[in-house]
Amino acid sequence: MPIRLARDRSDLDLYYLDELAARIKANRDKIARLRQELTDLDARMRDKAIDLEFARIIGYDYEDEDIESIRARMSNEIDALEEAVKNDMEAFMNGLISQDLIIPIEPKPIADADGDGKGRSRIVYRYRDDALFTNFVALLSTLLGKTTVKDVTFMQDGIAVDAVSERDAKYKFVNSIRELQRMLAKRVRAVVIDAG
């Protein structure tokens, strides 16, 4: 039976997860920048105390910039960004473990003649429309500490399967994706139990 592109499917696909991963990365970068700015501001606050005392001792008024309100604004911004990262990570994990997840690869693979360099064959499926999922792969790597699950390696431009034939690749692809989803579902449940 030939494979045809499904229409009217869920929007839950790697495009969506890649967007979430990009947003998570951008917000984490903003949080790191704001935390550094807060550290710098704290140093200025220590200096301010000395400057205030110096001005008082020599009989001058100290022109005070409102560092406390700046600090409060930055802390609020960090809190909001951390909440956004938490929500996006939750959506990312739930999307990744969803049975409705669509991984948009071409149905016909290309064989990788070089294999994995260890004498095993590799079958490579490219993402449809030459899509790149750089952010998705980076976040998956951060979550798992790797981009390989069983026999499947996620790459920014496709998925490689250690397999000897196309049939074997399909079997290993499905089993590896299900294994990934089971593994991450356990993590999500563990986090929910710990939080509860």
**Tens digit of pLDDT for each residue in 33-44?**
999 999 988 887
The answer to whether position 102 is within a domain reads no
Instruction: Tell me what percent of the chain is helix, strand and coil, each rounded to the nearest 5.
Output: 60, 10, 30
Same domain, yes or no, for 93 and 141? Answer: no
The answer to whether position 5 is within a domain reads no
SS3 60: coil
For residue 27, what are the domain limits?
A: 14-97
The answer to whether position 103 is within a domain reads no
Two structure tokens written together for 175: 């089993």
Alpha-carbon distance of 65 to 194, in angstroms, equals 43
Cα 1 → chain centroid: 36
pLDDT digits (tens, 9 = 90+) for 82-127: 999 999 999 999 999 999 999 999 999 986 655 555 556 899 999 9
Alpha-carbon distance of 117 to 4, in angstroms, equals 33
Same domain, yes or no, for 114 and 188? Answer: yes
Two structure tokens written together for 139: 């976040």
Same domain, yes or no, for 77 and 117? Answer: no
Same domain, yes or no, for 78 and 131? Answer: no
Alpha-carbon distance of 139 to 27, in angstroms, equals 13
What is this structure's pTM? 0.78
Q: Domain count of the chain? A: 2
pLDDT digits (tens, 9 = 90+) for 14-40: 999 999 999 999 999 999 999 999 998
